[in-house]
Structures are given as C-alpha cells and as structure tokens.
Amino acid sequence: MIRVNPNYSKIQANYLFAEIASRVKAYQAENPGADVIRLGIGDVTRALPAACVEALEKASREMGSDATFRGYGPDYGYAFLREAIARVDFQSRGCDISPDEIFVSDGAKCDTGNFQEIFDGAARVAVPDPVYPVYVDSNVMAGRTGAPTGDGRYAGLVYLDCNAENGFVPDLPSEPVDVAYLCFPNNPTGAVASRERLAAWVDWARATGALILFDAAYEAFIRDPDVPHSIYEIPGAKEVAVEFRSFSKTAGFTGTRCGYCVVPAECRAFDASGAPVPLQPLWKRRQSTKFNGVSYPVQRAAEAALSPEGRAQCRALVDGYLANAALVASRLEAKGFRCTGARNSPYVWFDCGADSWSFFDKLLREAQVVTTPGAGFGRGGAGFIRISAFNSRENVERALDRIDRVL
Ligand code: MLT
C-alpha cells in the first residue's frame, strides 16, 4: 500500500500566499465588481525592462531557425549568463566569485526550498521568526522537525526572534545549530543587516562548523551605501555561506522566472567523521539529476538585465517601487504606526496593534486592499502587517487614501 509522506500532515494546509489568494477570491465572489487593490504578495506589476524584451525576442527568433536553434542548455546555466553575473553582481563589489560558482535556476524560492536536500536529515536548523515560509516548510516536508507546537512553530526547529529590540536582525543562536537561514534585505520585515552583524554571523559559522543560507533576493533595493549587498563582502564567508539571488524583484521576472545560487568552491559541510566535504559537487549532482535548466530566451533576457542599459532600466523600476514604499511608510507613520523596511526594501512592516489576520480582513473588507498578515510569517509576526510596494503609484495612492478612511 502506498503511504503518503507523513511529514506533509504536519504542515499548515495552505501555503501563506495561497491562503490569502483564497480569502481574496471568496471576498470577490461575495462582492462581484469590488475594486480590490493588491499590496499582498510581492509580485511585480511593471513591464519587463526594454533590454530584456529585446533579448527575449531575439533569442526566440534564434530558436525558430535550425541554424541557431538550441536544445538542452548547459546543466548549470549558459556561460554568457554566469560570466555576466560573476562580473556585475560580485566582482564589481570586490567579491571573488567566479562563473563556475554560480548555478542558474528558475528562482530563489526553488533554490531556498531545495538546498536543504543535500544536508543530513538530522541537521539542526535555525530560522528567523518572522520568516519566509519556504525555509520552514521545506524542512518540515523533509522530516527535519517534530510536530507543530500550536503556536505557529514546529518542535525541533531553532527560532531566532526578530523584533523591534534587535532591529529585526536575529541574534546568534544560543544553542547548537548546523544551518541557519538569513534573508537581507529581509522578507517580510524589510530590515537590513549591517556589515558588523553579518561578520558576527560569519565568525559564528566558522567557529561552530555551521553553514549560512543567505537569501539576497531583495539586494537590488539597497540604497544605503554601508549595507552589504552580498554575504561574500564579509571576509571568510566563502567557506561558510551559500547565497541565493533572483531576477524576480530586480528585473520584474516573477512571471519570467530566473534566479541563481552561489556555491563557492571552498564552501563546506562535514561528514559523519567530521571531515570537511565540499558542497559544490553535491549541489551539482542534485541539480543535474532533478533540474534541466532555464530556457535559453530567459537566460538571454537575464543577461540583458545585467547589461549597462538593462541595469539602468532595472534601477528605474526598483526606484519606482522604493518611492511607493517610502510613501506607504510615511503615510502609516503619520497615523502613528511604527514601520520597518521601505528604505532598502519593497516591504513596509508595521505593528498594527491588533490580531494580524483580523486586521488583514478589515483592510480587505472595508478598504478592498490586500495586505499580508504578519502572523502568516510565524509567531514573531503576530500583530504585524506587511504592505508590498509592488504596484503602480496610482494604485498605491488610492490604497493609502482608502486605508486612511478606515483606520
Ligand atoms: C512574498 O510576497 O513574500 C514573495 O513574493 C514570495 C516569493 O517571492 O516567493
């Protein structure tokens, strides 16, 4: 008899954003014609940069001719893209990352969810709280946790509290941990980590034999010159950190799909005898078994996003979303809410002074504005709301006027 994976019975029935989508759908079914403004899931709304569209068109035409057609691409991504990433995203910032340490994928959600497969089933995992749910759920599915504890947490995971007191940047674990997920600029809080705080994490991982999984999907939103864009700006990080990046929020690729992870040659874990084992061959083995790469036109579009023209267009896109975020924060602060994020992030995170699902429902029903309830990101998010700046200026202004009227 075929049995299901029992770990799936531990996880919440719905992924957070699926739950929000179903509540919005139910509301719209009850209120046909309601003009709902979506500031919930961080899904971009502006068109792809022109440089990317041109590259997509050109590459699609190449696929339409026998002479230039391409079948399966190289396992870890085309050299043209891996070289552009290494040069633009890392070497230009003084990070010694080479193209063969870059693994192109269809996005950071998949990579951050999949990477745990190459660790021991008994690895002790630390996550920030609040947290992007993928880090938790993928470890629950893999059997690395016990049962839910009834407060939005799981037995066996180490939760690192992020709150106003520590600036939503987790303190180092006070118990043994083998792998820690970090995300900066943070989803959901929008907080950023200083060089000193990241250096403390790198020192911790080097001293304890742990690994850092560093999600930098929102790196393009950093405008503060002192904030590191990559964990590899911290000396010694290459041995102890894997970094995840995405073109989704940077270049408007949420529907186009392209991201990558960096697994440096010297990045290590350990075997049962305590001998170091390089992670890169394991990740290569995993990817070449389970993944057939990103389409050629999409990789050409990602390459175009890294060209001088594409970078200027991406920066203008991101600047538009950052201006929206600044407006959201200033309007909420004027109403007395304490906000985090917005400055180097598309997200505004604020203490709503109420149960966050009730507050979410109030904004949906009375203002027809979709947000994300902080409790959906874990116990540490209870009482908070996340507003995403990914929408047109006009819609953000309309949403804020409506929120003003109901709060
Ligand atoms: C979010 O809203 O947190 C993100 O869009 C989710 C994601 O990138 O998968």
CATH number for position 369: 3.90.1150.10
Give 267 Cα–ligand 1 centroid separation in angstroms.
Answer: 27
- Whether the CB-CB separation of 157 and 355 falls below 8 Å is answered with no
Q: Are residues 246 and 364 in the same domain?
A: no
106: nearest Cα among 293, 355, 334:
293
Q: Pick from 43, 106, 244 the residue to mutate for probing ligand 1's pocket: most ligand atoms within 8 Å of its CB.
A: 43
Q: Are residues 204 and 237 in the same domain?
A: yes
Atom of ligand 1 nearest to the CA of 40: 2
The DSSP call for residue 48 is P
Sign of the four-CA dihedral 172, 178, 181, 184: positive
What is the model's pLDDT at position 290?
Answer: 97
What is the model's pLDDT at position 245?
Answer: 98
Q: Pick from 24, 41, 258 the residue to mutate for probing ligand 1's pocket: most ligand atoms within 8 Å of its CB.
A: 41
Give the residue, by CA position, lying nearest to ligand 1 atom 4.
42
Give 184 Cα–ligand 1 centroid separation in angstroms.
Answer: 14
Give 246 Cα–ligand 1 centroid separation in angstroms.
Answer: 11
Give 256 Cα–ligand 1 centroid separation in angstroms.
Answer: 15
Q: Assess whether the C-beta atom of 187 lies below 6 angstroms from ligand 1.
A: yes
Burial bucket for residue 351 (CB in 10 Å: 0-12, 13-18, 19+): middle
In a domain, 122, yes or no: yes
Instruction: Pick the last residue of a domain from 290, 307, 324.
Output: 307
What is the model's pLDDT at position 241?
Answer: 98
Q: Are residues 318 and 294 in the same domain?
A: no
Instruction: Pick the last residue of a domain from 282, 307, 332.
Output: 307
- Whether the CB-CB separation of 148 and 10 falls below 8 Å is answered with yes
Q: Assess whether the C-beta atom of 109 lies below 6 angstroms from ligand 1.
A: yes
Instruction: Pick the last residue of a domain from 285, 307, 329.
Output: 307
What is the model's pLDDT at position 12?
Answer: 79
Q: Are residues 253 and 120 in the same domain?
A: yes
Q: Are residues 157 and 246 in the same domain?
A: yes
> Cα–Cα–Cα angle for 200, 205, 208, nearest 5°?
120
Q: Pick from 112, 187, 257 the residue to mutate for probing ligand 1's pocket: most ligand atoms within 8 Å of its CB.
A: 187
Quickly list DSSP for 157-212.
PEEEE--TTTTT-PPPPSS--SEEEEESS-TTT-----HHHHHHHHHHHHHHT-EE
What is the model's pLDDT at position 15?
Answer: 81
Q: Assess whether the C-beta atom of 42 lies below 6 angstroms from ligand 1.
A: yes
Amino acid code (one letter) for 259: G
| 405: its two tokens | 């009227």
Sign of the four-CA dihedral 342, 346, 351, 353: positive
In a domain, 1, yes or no: no
Give 252 Cα–ligand 1 centroid separation in angstroms.
Answer: 13
b/e string for 318-336 if b means 16 or more Cβ within 10 A? bebbbebbebbbebbeeee
Altogether, the residues listed in the chain come to a count of 407
> Cα–Cα–Cα angle for 297, 300, 301, nearest 5°?
85
What CATH number did the domain enclosing 132 receive?
3.40.640.10
In a domain, 116, yes or no: yes
Q: Which domain holds residue 164?
A: 53-307
Q: Assess whether the C-beta atom of 346 lies below 6 angstroms from ligand 1.
A: no
What is the model's pLDDT at position 327?
Answer: 98
192: nearest Cα among 237, 160, 225, 235:
225
What is the model's pLDDT at position 14?
Answer: 80
Number of domains the chain contains: 2
Distance, CA of 158 to CA of 146 (rounded, Å): 12
What is the model's pLDDT at position 326?
Answer: 98
What is the model's pLDDT at position 65?
Answer: 98
Give 41 Cα–ligand 1 centroid separation in angstroms.
Answer: 6
Give the residue, by CA position, lying nearest to ligand 1 atom 6.
42
Q: Are residues 289 and 347 in the same domain?
A: no
Could you report the average pLDDT of every consecutive run of 10 residues in the chain (407 residues)?
Answer: 96 85 95 95 96 98 98 97 98 98 98 98 98 97 95 95 97 98 98 98 98 98 97 98 98 98 98 98 98 98 98 98 98 96 97 96 97 95 97 98 95
